[in-house]
Amino acid sequence: QVQLVESGGGVVQPGRSLRLSCAASGFTFSSYGMHWVRQAPGKGLEWVAVIWYDGSYKYYADSVKGRFTISRDNSKDTLNLQMDSLRAEDTAVYYCARGGMVIAAIPDFWGQGTLVTVSS
């Protein structure tokens, strides 16, 4: 069955960096676009970034552009999110999600998330 398992979350000071990873299994990872979506505590969903199935295109939310970098390793079925210059407002649960096969822009399957807390 499809599984997405995020890791790398934790407590980090403002201005520092953190790298999240998402291990995928149960589907042909290299055929799907992948997303990161976050949710601040008690708040709604905020889309963060997407990467095309082959890594050829990447898009970011304005709030993270220039600070976050999405990447993937199709040989290891892994999605990454490098987060630099972290701010308190980046505190959230970060979900890795698979884009649909037909509609890649809809995250059709989500991991359980990893919590990132930015605090001094």
Closest CB 20 distance from other proteins, rounded Å: 15
Closest CB 25 distance from other proteins, rounded Å: 16
Closest CB 120 distance from other proteins, rounded Å: 27
Task: Kindly state whether residue 112 participates in binding other proteins, applying the rule CB under 8 A.
Answer: yes
Query: Using CB under 8 A, which residues numbered 27 to 66 contact other proteins?
Result: 35, 37, 44-47, 50, 59-62
User: Which residues, 6 or more positions from 117, have their beta carbon under 8 angstroms from its beta carbon?
Assistant: 10, 11, 12, 91
CA distance 76 to 6: 14
Instruction: Write out the E strands in 1-119.
Output: 3-7, 10-12, 18-25, 34-39, 45-51, 58-60, 68-73, 78-83, 92-99, 107-110, 114-118
Q: Are 19 and 78 within 8 A, CB to CB? A: no
Q: Which of 9, 23, 110, 117 binds other proteins (CB under 8 A)?
A: 110
Query: Using CB under 8 A, which residues numbered 90 to 109 contact other proteins?
Result: 95, 100, 103, 105-109
**Contacts to other proteins by CB under 8 A:** 35, 37, 44-47, 50, 59-62, 95, 100, 103, 105-113
